[in-house]
């Protein structure tokens, strides 16, 4: 019995230390994202997956989701799969979600989107102008952009509540 209690105590201690470690690692990013809320999402020219230059956000009068991602990012693929499922289930409109690839080429991004069956628009920030303006230093990074370009919510990393937040964001209309 005493040995079992020692094992339980150690497991709780290790779990607690792990949670504290993760909290300290994520705290600066969470603080930075929180500070962005209410600020204006920068408007800039980036590329579509076909290579055409476009101004983004496309329409400042509509709610928009900007998901910054990278092809090599495993959590990005999971986040994009969840978004695609919500679009397939008619819970989100594909034209309101933009996947902004950090760096890379339109051709590679287009191939990746088609390979995985993603139907929402993909954009490319080839020189990192937009991602630098928002200080995106982790992918996936998600921005909910309200009308007039105000950032309603920002997060970095894989979030278990992201899809719920996106759906709630569009339900506010």
pLDDT in tens, 21-50: 665 655 555 666 656 787 889 999 999 999
CATH entry, 37-171, from 3.40.50.2020, 2.60.15.10, 3.40.30.10, 3.40.50.1470: 3.40.30.10
**Does the structure show a pLDDT above 70 at 166?**
yes
98-123 pLDDT per residue, tens: 999 999 999 999 999 999 999 999 99
The CA-CA-CA angle for residues 79, 151, 76, to 5°, reads 15
**Does the structure show a pLDDT above 70 at 135?**
yes
Do residues 54 and 142 make contact, with C-beta atoms less than 8 angstroms apart? Answer: no
**Does the structure show a pLDDT above 90 at 10?**
no
Determine the Cα–Cα distance for residues 47 and 51; give it in Å rounded to an integer. Answer: 5
5 pLDDT tier (thresholds 50, 70, 90): low
Which of 92 and 33 is assigned the larger pLDDT? 92
Q: What is the pLDDT of residue 61?
A: 83
> Which residue ranges make up each domain of the chain?
1-31, 37-171
Q: What is the mean pLDDT of the chain?
A: 87
Q: What is the value of pTM for the model shown?
A: 0.81
Q: Distances in Å between the alpha carbon of 66 and those of 20, 36, 39, 106, 129?
A: 30, 14, 15, 17, 14
């Amino acid at each position: 019995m005493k040995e079992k209690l020692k094992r339980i105590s150690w497991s709780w201690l290790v779990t607690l230390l792990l949670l504290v470690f993760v909290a300290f690692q994520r705290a600066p990013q969470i603080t930075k994202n929180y500070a962005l809320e209410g600020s204006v999402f920068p408007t800039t020219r980036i590329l579509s997956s076909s290579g055409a230059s476009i101004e983004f956000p496309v329409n400042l009068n509509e709610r928009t989701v900007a998901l910054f991602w990278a092809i090599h990012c495993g959590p990005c693929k999971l986040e994009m799969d969840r978004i695609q499922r919500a679009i397939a289930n008619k819970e989100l409109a594909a034209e309101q979600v933009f996947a902004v690839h950090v760096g890379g080429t339109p051709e590679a991004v287009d191939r990746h989107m088609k390979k995985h069956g993603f139907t929402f628009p993909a954009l490319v920030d080839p020189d990192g102008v937009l991602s630098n303006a928002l200080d995106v230093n982790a992918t996936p990074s998600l921005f909910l952009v309200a009308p007039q370009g105000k950032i309603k919510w920002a997060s970095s990393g894989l979030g278990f509540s992201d899809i719920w937040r996106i759906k709630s964001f569009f339900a506010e209309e």
